[in-house]
Each structure stands twice: as structure tokens, then as C-alpha cells.
Chain A
Amino acid sequence: MAETHSLQDLRQAAVASKVFVQRDYTTGTICKFQTRFPAELESRIDKAQFEETIQTLNNLYAEAEKLGGRSYLEGCLACLTAYTIFLCMETHYEKVLKKIAKYIQEQNEKIYAPLGLLLTDPIERGLRVVEITIFEDRSIGSR
């Protein structure tokens, strides 16, 4: 089995390839990623683990975009205060995005980096894709 890498080690490694998990629009324009397991990752990571990561991300984005009393209240309050309220507090969406960033970093540190993979936060790609960088595994030679 490949030697485990830490997140720091990965920064020195060479990128072998990248996999892009696209958006899933079957339920509308909400932010949701496909849970289909890419073929390139078969040798690297467990399918169930991958699906769990993506599903958790989807749930977090759904929470950010949830239409409920809270978001309506925020919208109405913002309108009444002429949107100056956003100077002092951040929107619910932004709060959830921070949560997502923390989750991704945690997943990278605990699960993906030891396997020679790196998840990129979708917000850095305009919420279009989840980019997974596959690093060359020196111990078993290049892919």
C-alpha cells in the first residue's frame, strides 16, 4: 500500500491528474454535486467514503440555500435597513460557506491527503466543480 502523505508532503508532490465532479441539476439550480464515483479514483479511495464526502457537501449547500423563515427574515431585514446590515453581519450563506471550508480542510487532512488526493473547495471554482487533485505516488511509481 502507498505510504501515507501528510498535507505538507503533498505540496512537494507532482500532480498526476485531476478529476472534476460536476454539478447535478436534476432537482433544479440549487448547488448539488454528482455522487457518481469517478473511475480514476477507484484505485485510490473507497467509493462509500467518497460518496459520503460529496453527500455531506450537498447537505451543507442545501442548508445554505434553504428557503425558510430565517432567510426570509434576513432578506426583509436587509431591505428595511437599506442593506447596511450586511456591513456588520455576514449572510447565512457566508456562514455556511465557512463551515464547508472547514469541513473540506478536515477531510483533506484526515482522509484524502494520506491517500495522495486533495479536494479543492468548490467556491474557488465558482461552485461549478469539486476538483480532486491526484498526486503521483512515489512509492508505487508514477501512474
Chain B
Amino acid sequence: MLNMKNCEYQQIDPRALRISTTRVPSTLPCGRKGTQRPRRKWEVFPGKNRFYCDGRLMLARQCGVLPLTISLIFITSGLFFTFDCPFLVDHLTIFIPVIGAVLFAFVVINLLQTSFTDPGILPRALPDEAADIERQIDNSGSSTYRPPPRTKEILINNQVVKLKYCFTCKMFRPPRTSHCSMCDNCVERFDHHCPWVGNCVGRRNYRFFYGFIVSLSFLTSFIFGCVITHLVLRSQSGSGIIQAIQESPARYPFCCAHSTVVELVICFFSIWSILGLSGFHTYLVASNLTTNEDIKGSWSSKRGEESGNPYTYNNIFTNCFVVLCGPMPPSLIDRRGFVPSDDAIHTVTSEAEIPPFMAKNDANMCAQSTKELLESMAHSTAVQATCAPGKLKTAPVTQESLLSTVSIRVSRPSKPPSSGWSSRQARRPVDMPCSQSTNKRAAPHTRLPSPVFSLRHSAFILSDARDIDFIPLS
């Protein structure tokens, strides 16, 4: 029917598009004859992530300010151990550096665990599964020209919960799952995308994140306290606090004064934000909520309706235990598994339109996606309703978007925060040759019962940026 110019494709048999076959034995498209070394799945992973140590460690592609976080922690702790500890050991006790070291170790370990662990990414649906879901959606639609709704309502513990369809991952998102635009992945129990740790915080690494911020609060408070103690003790032996700052020990004639100031400044500003954040997350853990749900107000009682959180165990201790000490779920994306060569030839079974997905890294997928593109283009006029509106990405992390996000949380404007999101732009090419639908974000409501602490924490709640309400294409 059609011949591709770029790859050595076989002529596409229309029947082959409808009936799937499991294997084309030896002839791989694009001239690859099976001499390619077997590739691991992380090499063809479609999300925006970076992988290290052959897939054992992963990070978001935009690692945000993780280097800054690490430098701040190391610099402050380094200055503390170098300049304050000797003095305090002489004047107080040996346990000061011991406690400091333990806290420092906890902070670093939890930070590394948070950053390099898979947050609970859901692998994207394979074409057959996506086709099956599309078929079910089409069957449940009432008329042919009105697009079927891409939401599903289910009952969880007698509470109605809406499941949304993810156009990127081609599946209905499980409850509490959200799509992160920064990483372009659906993440289970999505909390937020944290630029400070350079990764999403989700089901698998929330406990590490919580451990990180709690131990960091202790560490900064401890260092702050020790530095103050140091200054006080020095000023008692000297003649005033200013001279205590200016005074320098014989061993480090130049640095000590400056180090004290640096430590004070860093700790002072960190304490407010980190302590506040720890308090906020302690509240979330105790009520088994995520930052995402809290910000969207998913379970608040609106307009007098009774809608409680269906996931809570109604007991603070049980909630804490479940969130922090529950069983550790496995990583679902199987980073180190090998890509099976059959998948490249796996064609789509249904006649329903499947928006093609462009796996950028794997040339094997090129055959499949091109076939799908042809099929979908052939059907595009008839089935406009099911075309993907494209992937809208938020703008890179800028101060402006940070502040507008944070200010949304604090001031709760009544209209949608269009200014903050206005710089959103599509980064990846749209899969389907059709116009994008507008992205309507639910307006944040005006409830404010929970403590709002994270004034400086740039928590990116990007989940709902991807919730695209379906608007008929005119």
C-alpha cells in the first residue's frame, strides 16, 4: 500500500494492520538484522529521566537545583565541623560532632535515596492495551460526533473518585496517580516534583523525602544552635558579640569569622522553610494525604458535601506507619530488563484509532509508530474525537513560575492562575496532526484549613497541568 522512504520497510499489508502477529522471524525493519547488542529497557525509556550505573539509579532529566542542595549541605556542615566543633569539644562535650555526624549522614543518605530512587513511575501502556482501552471508551460513548468523556468514575470505600485518562501514557490513571510534566511520567501516589532533590516525590520515595526534610530540620537547628552557643561562649570570654564574630583563633586566622556568618545566614533562612515544610508534611503523613491532593482540595468538604479522604485509616499512628514504614513496592519500570525484539513488530489489533507514540531512542519502534501513524491518518477524518491533544509542557523552572506557584498556595486567588502557567509551551512535537485542545486547569478553591508553610519551598504541583478536559475539535 505505502512504502517508506527512510527505512527498509516491507510493503504494508492492510490485513496486517488489523490482525496482529507475534513475530516476523528474522527481518527486522530499518535494516537491523539482529546483530545489535541487546538493549536494556532504561535505554529506551520514554520519560524524561536520566539513568546511571546501567539503570540502577535514576534522576529527572532536569535535575533542578540538586547540586545547590548538596553544596549547601556540605558547605554548611563542613564549616561546622571545621570551625565550630573544635571549640565546642573543648568547652562542652565530644558528643557535639558525634550528633552532628549522625544527623549529617542521615540527611545525605535520605537525600540520595530520594533523588536516585524511582518514585513509582508507571510504565506506559503497550499498544494492545491502549487499543483495548480505546475500544472500551468508544463503546461507552453515546454518539459518534461528540467525543466520549475521558474520565471514569469508580467507588473507593463508598467514595466517588474520578479516574482521568492520560493521553501520554494511554491509560486511565490509577487513583492518586498523577502525570508529572517535568519528567513526562505518570507517578503513583504523586506528591510533587521537587527541584531541590531533582526528582518527583511519589509512592516509593516519599518516606525518604520525609526523612530528608525531618533530619535536615534537625541538622540545621542543631548547627544553628551550636553556632550561637559558640558565639555566646566566645563573647563571654571576650568583650561582646561583635568582637566574638571578628575574633579568630590562631589556627585559622582568616576563615573563622566568615564561616560563622555564612553558617548563621544559611541556617537562619533554611530553618524557617525546612521546619515549616516538615510540619506540613507531618500533617500530610498523619492524614494520609499527598501535597497534590491537599492543594487541589480533593477531599475537602465543599458546599456542605461530605467527602472525606477514602484512603485514610482514621488513625494518626496507622496513617504514619502505613506511609512511612509500609511495604516497599517494587519499581514497575524494570529498568535493567532487556528490550525484547518481538515488541518492535507488535502491531495494533483494533480498528480504532491509536495515536502513535514516538519513542525517540529506539529505531525499532520506528516501524511500529509509522504504521500506526499511517493507520491513524487514514482514520483521522472519521475519528477526530480520539486524537491526542498533544503534550503540553510547563515552562522551565523559572523564578517567576516558582513564585506564582507558591503565591497560589498562600493567597488562594479565586480565578485560575493563568499568569503563572502562561509561559507553558509544547516541547515535544505533537503526535497527531490535529490542533491541540486547550488546557483547562481547575481553579484552586478557597479552603485554607491546613497550615500553609511552604513559602519558600518550590513545590511543583504539575499534575493537573496535564489534565486536559476534552473539547470537541471544531
Real complex partners, A and B? yes
Give every chain A residue within 8 A of B132 (Cβ-Cβ). Answer: 18-20
Q: Which of B251-259, B329-337, B380-388 contacts A (4 or more CB under 8 A)?
A: B329-337
Interface assignment of A97: CB less than 8 Å from any CB of chain B: yes
- Within 8 Å by CB of A91, from B113, B310, B327, lies B327
- Are the C-beta atoms of B349 and A17 separated by less than 8 Å? yes
Interface assignment of A128: CB less than 8 Å from any CB of chain B: yes
Q: A45-61 interface mask toward B, CB cutoff 8 Å, 1 = contact, 0 = none? A: 00000000000000000
- Are the C-beta atoms of A71 and B113 separated by less than 8 Å? no
- Are the C-beta atoms of A67 and B327 separated by less than 8 Å? yes
Interface assignment of A3: CB less than 8 Å from any CB of chain B: no
A72 to B322, CA, bound (A): 8
Chain B, residue nearest A127 (CB): B332
Known: A15-B21, A28-B156, A129-B129. A78 touches B328 (CB 8 A): yes
Give every chain B residue within 8 A of A14 (Cβ-Cβ). Answer: 21-22
Give every chain B residue within 8 A of A72 (Cβ-Cβ). Answer: 321, 325
Interface assignment of B53: CB less than 8 Å from any CB of chain A: no
Interface assignment of B99: CB less than 8 Å from any CB of chain A: no
Chain B, residue nearest A19 (CB): B132
Known: A18-B132, A18-B349, A92-B327. A67 touches B156 (CB 8 A): no
Interface assignment of B238: CB less than 8 Å from any CB of chain A: no
- Are the C-beta atoms of B156 and A26 separated by less than 8 Å? yes
- Are the C-beta atoms of B123 and A93 separated by less than 8 Å? no
- Are the C-beta atoms of B311 and A76 separated by less than 8 Å? no
- Are the C-beta atoms of B123 and A67 separated by less than 8 Å? no
Q: A9-41 interface mask toward B, CB cutoff 8 Å, 1 = contact, 0 = none? A: 000001101111001011111000000000000
Interface assignment of B324: CB less than 8 Å from any CB of chain A: yes
Interface assignment of A106: CB less than 8 Å from any CB of chain B: no
Chain B positions 300-327 with a Cβ under 8 Å from a chain A Cβ = 310-311, 321-322, 324-327
- The CB with the most chain B CB atoms within 10 A, among A27, A82, A128, is that of A128
- Are the C-beta atoms of B326 and A29 separated by less than 8 Å? no
Chain A, residue nearest B105 (CB): A82
Give every chain A residue within 8 A of B157 (Cβ-Cβ). Answer: 26-28
Chain B positions 365-416 with a Cβ under 8 Å from a chain A Cβ = none
Known: A67-B321, A75-B324, A83-B109. A28 touches B311 (CB 8 A): yes
- Are the C-beta atoms of A97 and B129 separated by less than 8 Å? no
Interface assignment of B7: CB less than 8 Å from any CB of chain A: no
Known: A93-B329, A126-B122, A128-B171. A67 touches B322 (CB 8 A): yes
Known: A126-B122, A126-B332. A75 touches B109 (CB 8 A): no
A97 to B174, CA, bound (A): 20
- Within 8 Å by CB of A93, from B133, B207, B327, B333, lies B327
- Are the C-beta atoms of A29 and B176 separated by less than 8 Å? yes
- Are the C-beta atoms of B175 and A75 separated by less than 8 Å? no
Chain B positions 112-126 with a Cβ under 8 Å from a chain A Cβ = 113, 122-123, 125-126
Interface assignment of A109: CB less than 8 Å from any CB of chain B: no
Tell me the smallest distance from the CB of B180 to a CB of chain A, in Å.
16
Tell me the smallest distance from the CB of A13 to a CB of chain B, in Å.
8
Give every chain B residue within 8 A of A83 (Cβ-Cβ). Answer: 109, 113
Interface assignment of A66: CB less than 8 Å from any CB of chain B: yes
Q: List 13 A-B contacts (CB under 8 A).
A: A17-B349, A18-B132, A20-B128, A29-B176, A29-B189, A71-B327, A74-B328, A82-B109, A86-B328, A92-B327, A94-B330, A126-B123, A131-B129
| Top 4 A-B pairs, shortest CB-CB distance | A75-B325, A126-B123, A126-B332, A71-B327
